[in-house]
């Protein structure tokens, strides 16, 4: 892994990682065992990148069994928060237990109909239940899905965090209808965006992902105070893994100042996920 070309500030946060630990069985017993994706593996990457905090996003590998995520949060001793996956059968007692374990949001990953764990019709009822906990809804949808669900997303009683720059297509910019919708939510103090996963939307490929650069810059220019950055480690969708140092270094191309990077890496995740200090 290459060393990032930017100097990471104190308390910098990787706001999107997944942990898969062989101590915890997958939701589907037929799923092959995952290797090299445990918290211990990530801590090596974290140290090399000069990061301290992390947001652990529940992996589809575990469906709605959040034990691995909670375990990883606990191991990080106050330097991690989590995003859980539950369905509408979850009890209020379980939501409180998740909150006490460091969970601060629910993820709805709906871009791929073939492996969805939750459904669109679960978003509002679950959002209404987590509002009093101060959580948010993390949305992983393709741009066209976001546009189809505008009325739902705009009226949720919790903030919305858009995964992977809203999954807008390669070459998209601030003129794209999904960008304009997300911008309206940000202006209304209802949304955040993760500057993550450029390899999910590129045609040109890495390591610079130049056909995603304009979109990332437009988001960062629009509202640096509403952006967070995530590596998406261990890049479970990718056969050829990107270099995490290069991914972090892209913030130099996407942002215009040290102040913006301080906000994206430290101040914004501290506010969004409730880190102390």
Among the listed residues 57, 224, 199, 250, the one whose alpha carbon sits nearest the alpha carbon of residue 139: 57
Closest C-alpha to 181, from 242, 125, 222: 222
CA–CA distance, 83 with 85 (Å, rounded to integer): 7
* Residues β-bridged to residue 108: 139
Tokens of 272: 């969004």
Task: Name 233's bridge partners.
Answer: 17
Long-range contacts of 234-237 (CB under 8 A, 24+ apart): 234/17, 234/18, 234/20, 234/36, 234/37, 234/41, 234/42, 235/199, 236/18, 236/20, 236/37, 236/59, 236/61, 237/200
Closest to 244 in 3D by CA, of 256, 234, 253: 234
Q: Find the radius of gyration of the CA atoms of the chain.
A: 17
Give the active site residues.
232
User: Tokens 């967070």 appear where?
Assistant: 228
End-to-end CA distance of the chain: 30
- Distance, in Å, from the CA atom of 274 to the CA atom of 135, rounded to the nearest integer, reads 10
């Amino acid at each position: 892994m290459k060393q990032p070309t930017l100097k990471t500030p104190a308390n910098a946060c990787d706001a999107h990682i997944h942990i898969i630990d062989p101590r915890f069985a997958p939701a589907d017993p037929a799923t092959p065992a995952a290797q090299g994706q445990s918290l211990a593996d990530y801590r090596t990457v974290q140290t090399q990148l000069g990061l301290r905090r992390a947001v652990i996003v529940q992996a589809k590998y575990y469906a709605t069994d959040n034990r691995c995520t909670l375990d990883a949060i606990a191991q990080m001793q106050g330097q991690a928060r989590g995003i859980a996956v539950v369905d509408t059968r979850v009890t209020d007692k379980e939501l409180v237990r998740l909150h006490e374990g460091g969970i601060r949001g629910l993820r709805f990953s709906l871009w791929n109909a073939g492996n969805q764990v939750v459904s669109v019709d679960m978003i509002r009822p679950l959002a209404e239940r987590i509002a009093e906990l101060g959580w948010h809804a993390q949305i992983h949808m393709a741009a066209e899905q976001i546009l189809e669900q505008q009325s739902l997303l705009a009226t949720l009683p919790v903030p919305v965090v858009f995964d992977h720059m809203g999954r807008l297509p390669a070459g998209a910019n601030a003129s794209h209808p999904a960008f304009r919708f997300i911008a309206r939510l940000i202006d209304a103090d209802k949304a955040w965006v993760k500057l993550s996963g450029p390899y999910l939307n590129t045609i040109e490929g890495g390591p610079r992902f130049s056909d995603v650069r304009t979109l990332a810059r437009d988001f960062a220019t629009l509202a640096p105070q509403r952006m967070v950055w995530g590596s998406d480690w261990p890049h479970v969708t990718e056969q050829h893994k990107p270099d995490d140092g290069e991914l972090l270094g892209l913030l130099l191309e996407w942002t215009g100042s040290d102040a913006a990077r301080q906000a994206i890496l430290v101040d914004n995740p501290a506010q969004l996920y409730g880190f102390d200090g």
